[in-house]
Structure 1
């Protein structure tokens, strides 16, 4: 594609999986990371980098324009030299210079490598950290799970033995449950005639080494006793958390209710399912002329499918529980481990299993299918029940997958009445569905629009742009962080005035990228930080400890640090103290230590997030302009 065609595409869809726009003043690390990601990303085929193209910052409706680059010969030479030397193998991108008006633009065309040549990685960094993948419009460092994607390893984690395990850790009730489930599917199955030892060996659940019998991870997870899970896999559990209202508020005076569940995965499916269904709203509808009422609650098959997906597709390399969050208007299931399938391909035929032995047992007992049709089935059943389709978020950076099930019936009587207030705007059905989604969750982005309406990126971008031009929605963020929130002519009811919108933060609660932020972060960021905005944007040196929300002792401890102090551990402990009192923005924390924000985030805040010492106040959108940090407190 030519530079003009690519710029036109950028203005239709913004930066996406296969296009990246950069200022192009130099061939820096970010350019090379994008080339590495384009080479590695499965199914991408082609990627383009435009040097000398930027987004207008001051425009009412920002668009991409050619700003040009200088010294094109030097940039091309530098690019080709680095591509040939810094990776584990030479990369040969196509490089062309095009003239747009009086500006020079460099187009870099990178082709995806064949499977046998992947992964490409920075030689000095090694694997997996030196390799990158193209996830959405960002370049993400690879993890060990990514290497599984590249190499399609047969020796997966669930086939690895668990040291300190033995046959004594096997739950007889779990083995009997497997036999009962299997006999219902095929009463003549050969494995039902095996002894328990031979059965688990045939399923890849036990292995012998030096005359000793050990359970594999699959064996422990599928057939292990609860005390054995607690001893050997203490963080592998399911936490069911009931949260009052529609947003996460950690209030010590009004704590949420948490139920921890652990044990054999085969037994866990029913336990978790029963716990959730007992809490879900139930209802029935008797249509005119019908003799039998139909259920209008969340379809049980959808819930079971979501639970099973979380159990068999999560990564067990991460010592984190699955979290099921029950809000007033939705259910969110968060499991460690990004999707091995690209987010845009979820619901298409074909399945990629992170845990093949666990998946095989679930398939043989009919608890799950392995053909990749589960998500498609969930969408169909939700729509049949007049519920908004489920949305899915695969966060590669945080190694997290989230399933959201809205408990709202689409186009009920109140919705029809509310949508009638938009008649003069001549909205299409997809746009109306998006407005209902925002009314329930507070915001939407391109990914959520596509999932809710089953449309492609171009259609979603066009409809969202139209809603923005009609001032029904406001655009927030830019580039890869773009999302949309209620605008001037968006109302939360037929009689609601536009001026009232900003006073309803409780309605805007679901986070990005499927739903990008919370209302108090959009219209009134101050309350989320519990202090006036002007005090947060003022250097620490000009405020008292009380004004900054810090104790006198803590301020003295910070001031006692020398400007050239290099004690990372001491600084991290101070950061934890600062953020334990209330959330703080990166810029303000950096000012306390008289440092630049970008340096401080790179040196301290981001590593502390990864180590689990800090967490974001808006976790699903790390780059949100009102992002703040708070210390993680142990939850018992």
Structure 2
């Protein structure tokens, strides 16, 4: 019932439900509150964001409700507005005049607890009207998007995305006048597309097209006024030769960086090992995936109950999706490489270009592509999952492998995206032993997960707690508050930037773990790849017998057969092979060179033959030239 005893109107019922949402949770993607003493710029930014955000349908703005400033966790109260009629008139007038298109919100004046409030409903603008922006600021500074519960200034990529409804060309469609179809397009990359496309769909019509017709249809060239064709950014990135990429897009590469330990510490005496890889995406992506998988520790699974099959600790499909995600969705306007950083306990995939989807929608069906044509090419070649499903696939496979769910960080301020994969089993025996130190706190399973996450990453936020435990904001806030009040966590930052680190008890537990030989550094990736050398007795019986039969004076062909069998079973270094075979490293080096020259072995780091962590794998029959 209303304050007059009448039945609540539809708008009063809506307001009551929105207020309940606020008190049980917080502001969110479609709900914002303001004190509303006047129509200030922050109100206009929220209306602009609601109008622009694709697929959200708009949102609700309430004037006359405020968050209590003395509360860590959200607690909202109705404060009312002094002159609701004037406020309503000012809001309607500014919405009609201050934007590049007139915005017509629906505004209701309501009474609650003896105080007046304004409930404002803003609809999403039509595609042909976007981007909506403040005329006084222009583009891109005057346009806003609704990201989570905040209004974010649009980046150039955001503006390009919003313009697409008007047929605006994306950056990947830019023509490169300094690029030649004859000199700068890789025939190998075109052939790779044809082979992959044929494997996916042997009857695909584009397989019968000429190279020029194919490139034009894929958006990799554009027809000029004189009838000739000129390559685009998309054409350079997907089909350009290495020389063209080096000349025209030197930062469109991948840097694979190995960092000893868990933290990025610049040490002039110990340089990080870095391998730079570049090339057209159709051939670069498989090379990057292979380099990562070769560098990861591997476990074993029984196949048919008899033979052991070598399997990566992180599922190979997850690695593939992480690499494709970084290269397909990166911002190619930004002159920075994609970085893949291998720490002792995790892999970080860092690419320029924040997610164009709100953080709370990552993993949901549907995709928002920064590079639509590049994405289409990779999907058609089956290098990428069904559109919009890549993140969900990674989450499911990591959890199935008893590994922590992937952790995503998207920053609009730095226009960057980071995907982190822990490379050891989540909540393994050492984690359980470590958690026993907190038994007096009676941790819930969700809180235990949060502490293990904090141990690995050094900090945890409300968003991270929600992500690893699949709970809502209110649930995560309550749990973090309990851990903070118990002294396990210490709060850092304020408001939306709040995060938590370990308190004295937490930090003491890490010191005890290290002193007992349970350092997390020993649980994940070994900082020294050579420490993973298998012993002869660790090999399958048939390989043990093959090596034992060599004897001390084996003929070269017998040694070649043994090396090929070992490198088919597991990617190995020269030192590892010498250890297994009981031979000198220089002797094994000569044998490896012969096999490389014959095309029966290939390098794990083909770009750097003398790489200190070089390894060798047997070339499959179908892959030989």
Describe the shift of the 1:427–1:42 C-alpha distance in structure 2 as closer, same or farther (beyond 3 A). Answer: farther
On the 8 A contact 1:169/1:225 being kept in 2, the answer is yes
Partner of 2:373: 357
Cα distance change, pair 216–58 in 1 and its aligned pair in 2 (3 A): closer
User: What is the distance in 2 between the residues matched to 1:243 and 1:174?
Assistant: 32
Contact kept, 8 Å, 2:25 with 2:74, in 1: the verdict is no
Q: State the 1:463 CA deviation.
A: 3.4
| Distance (Å, rounded) in 1 between the aligned partners of 2:169 and 2:71 | 53
Q: CA deviation at 1:296?
A: 6.0
Measured in 1, the distance between the counterparts of 2:326 and 2:457 equals 22
Distance, in Å, in 1 between the alignment partners of 2:410 and 2:72 is 31
2:59 is aligned to 47
Q: d(CA) in 1 for partners of 2:112 and 2:170?
A: 51
Q: Deviations over 1:266-295 (max 9, x none)?
A: 1111221222223323334679x8864674
Larger deviation, residues 83-92 vs 304-313: 83-92
Aligned-pair CA distance for 1:471 = 4.0
**Distance in 2 of aligned mates of 1:179 and 1:228:** 21
Q: How far apart in 1 are the matches of 2:285 and 2:436? A: 42
- Residues 15 and 480, structure 1, Cα contact 8 Å, conserved in 2: no
Q: 1:196 aligns with which of 208, 211, 216?
A: 211
Alpha carbons 2:88, 2:107 under 8 Å: kept: yes
Residues 495 and 128 from structure 1, CA distance in 2 versus in 1: closer, same or farther, beyond 3 angstroms?
A: closer
Contact 2:298-2:310 at 8 Å conserved across structures = no
Residues 1:63 and 1:250: Cα distance change in structure 2 (over 3 Å): farther
* Secondary structure in structure 2 of the residue aligned to 1:26: coil
Equivalent-residue separation in structure 2 for 1:296 and 1:227 (angstroms): 34
Q: Quote the offset at 1:67 in angstroms.
A: 5.2
Give the counterpart of 2:153 among 141, 144, 147. Answer: 141
1:178 aligned to 2:193? yes
Q: Which residue of 1 aligns with 2:575?
A: none
Structure 2 spans left out of the alignment, 5+ residues: 1-12, 523-625
Aligned residue in 1 for 2:449: 433
Equivalent residue, structure 2, for 1:89: 101
Aligned partners of 1:12 and 1:462 also within 8 Å: no
Residue 16 (str. 1) matches residue 28 (str. 2): yes
Match of residue 564 from structure 1: none
1:549-586: per-residue Cα shift (whole Å, max 9, x none)? xxxxxxxxxxxxxxxxxxxxxxxxxxxxxxxxxxxxxx
Give, in whole Å, the separation in 2 of the partners of 1:265 and 1:177.
10
Q: 1:402 aligns with which of 418, 424, 428?
A: 418
- What is the TM-score normalised by the length of structure 1? 0.70
Determine if contact 2:26/2:74 at 8 Å carries over to the other structure: no
Matches within 5 A, 1:218-297: 218-284=234-300, 292=308, 295=311, 297=313
User: Could you tell me how far 1:494 is from its partner in structure 2?
Assistant: 8.6
SS in 2 for 1:392: strand
Aligned equivalents of 2:199, 2:365: Cα separation in 1: 26
Match of 1:169 among 184, 194, 199: 184
Do the aligned residues in 1 keep the contact of 2:73 with 2:477 (CA within 8 Å)?
no
For 1:461, what is the secondary structure of its paired residue?
A: helix
- Partner residue of 2:477? 461
Distance 1:260 1:137 in 2: 38
SS in 2 for 1:278: helix
SS in 1 for 2:460: coil
Q: Residue 434 of structure 1: CA displacement?
A: 1.8
The answer for the alignment partner of 1:560 in structure 2 is: none
Residues 1:375 and 2:397 are matched in the alignment: no
In structure 2, relative to structure 1, the CA distance for the partners of 1:116 and 1:155 (3 Å cut) is closer
Deviations 1:488-531 (A, max 9, x none): 6546649959xx9xxx9x99xxxxxxxxxxxxxxxxxxxxxxxx
Distance in 2 of aligned mates of 1:465 and 1:2 = 30
Q: Does 1:386 align with 2:402?
A: yes
Cα offset, 1:299, TM superposition: 1.1
Q: Give the CA deviation at 1:130.
A: 1.9
Deviations 1:537-557 (A, max 9, x none): xxxxxxxxxxxxxxxxxxxxx
* Secondary structure class of the residue paired with 2:298: coil
* 8 Å Cα contact 1:3/1:105 also seen in 2: no
Preserved CA contact (<8 Å) 2:252 2:335: yes
Shift in alpha-carbon separation, 1:472–1:47, aligned structure 2, 3 A? farther
Q: Which residue of 1 aligns with 2:49?
A: 37
2:26–2:473 CA contact under 8 A, matched in 1: no
| Cα distance, 1:32 vs structure 2 | 1.1
Question: Shift of the alpha carbon at 1:105?
Answer: 5.2
1:299 partnered with 2:311: no
Post-superposition Cα deviations, 1:429-468, rounded to whole Å, max 9, x if no partner, equal 3322222111111222222222222333344334334434
The gaps in structure 1 that reach 5 residues or longer are: 508-636
Change (3 A) 1:60 1:231: closer
Offset at residue 487 of structure 1 (A): 3.9
Q: What count of residue pairs does the alignment treat as equivalent?
A: 501
Corresponding position of 1:346: 362
How far did 1:325 drift?
Answer: 2.1
Residue 572 of structure 2: aligned partner: none
Partner of 2:173 in structure 1?
159
**Change beyond 3 A, Cα 1:65–1:483:** farther
Cα shift readout 1:154-185 (whole Å, capped 9, x = no counterpart): 74333332111112101122222223323333
Q: Give the whole-Å Cα distance in 2 for the aligned partners of 1:8 and 1:473.
A: 29
TM-score of the superposed pair, with normalisation by structure 2: 0.71
